[in-house]
Amino acid sequence: MAAVLLTVLAAVASAGALKTRQLFEFPSPTFIENIAVRPNGHVLATTFTDAGLYTLDPSASNTTAKLVARVPGKTALTGITELYPDIFAVGAGIIDNLTFVNGSTSVWVVDFNCAGAEPVVRLAANLPQSIIVNGLATLPKARHMVLAADSIAGAVYRIDTISGTVQIAIQNDMLALGSNPAYPLGINGVEVHDGYLYLSQSAQRFFARVRISDSGDQIGEFEIIATLPRDPELVAYDDFAITGNGVAYLTAHSNTILKIPPGGNQTVFYGPGDMPYLFDPTSTALSRDESTLYIVTGGSAVRGGATGGQIIEVRL
């Protein structure tokens, strides 16, 4: 039933003839985990496979991703969020045998507002209490503070990137793995929009929001906006972007982007029938003018394939 519904939705999406272009494909097995867009329009991509931060200029005719920063002592980067113009926070850890090493988690600041050609990378905070920080989101009224999703503990931390202080802002079963999880991550992506924390939940298969204070504390009940349809192609929601009008573009493993407007009427925005094929999309980001959606993927190596992580542009 769900499969039939999805096929119909995919046909609707494909009929819309997406204006898509693959900007770059990394060599296998580079796995792109997350993405942000700089004020100059260049894309930043974080990798799970070498703790690299890569940059790419989408306006260049023959564009190539170049390494701009590496986080020392770590093997994997996770979420990324812009604190101040051209200053980003990124999550990092050590992955061994596809598993994060407990105690290796940390958040770093990457500052492009520096005299040199290279950004300055500095440690903001270690999170020994966490196995993984996944999505990151800046608090709009306190931009040196980030909220970080712990996908295992089912928590959202508030991290002061200046003092290094880490506190639990939200801890709730709605963020946790839940009983009998088929996917090993709970809360995944986070974005702050209009006084709410929006979040994707991989194991529990929903997209939700919760009202937060200016400092990120929970001040309302969780509201489930959409649930992941039951379809063999739809394994788990991953990270997402949200427009100024509250339209979310959510990635879903293994090959789909779902569009969820504020009312929660979820449709397939980019499906397995669209080209180029998405190999495990992990996150999306919008250009500043919201005319373009960028999608990053993990590539097919985790499934034994030869495609590296992709960066794809969709004109909206």
Ligand X SMILES: *[C@@H]1O[C@H](CO)[C@@H](O)[C@H](O)[C@H]1NC(C)=O
Binding site for ligand X (CB under 6 A): 62, 64, 97, 102-103, 265, 267
User: 126 vs 267, which CB is nearer to ligand X?
Assistant: 267
User: 101 vs 120, which CB is nearer to ligand X?
Assistant: 101
User: 22 vs 267, which CB is nearer to ligand X?
Assistant: 267
Min. distance of Cβ 68 from ligand X in angstroms? 17
User: 20 vs 129, which CB is nearer to ligand X?
Assistant: 129
Min. distance of Cβ 127 from ligand X in angstroms? 11
Cβ-based neighbour number of residue 179 at 10 Å: 8
Cβ-based neighbour number of residue 162 at 10 Å: 11
Min. distance of Cβ 13 from ligand X in angstroms? 9
User: 116 vs 263, which CB is nearer to ligand X?
Assistant: 263
Min. distance of Cβ 265 from ligand X in angstroms? 4
Min. distance of Cβ 165 from ligand X in angstroms? 18
Cα dist from 207 to 34, 174, 201, 311, whole Å? 18, 11, 6, 24
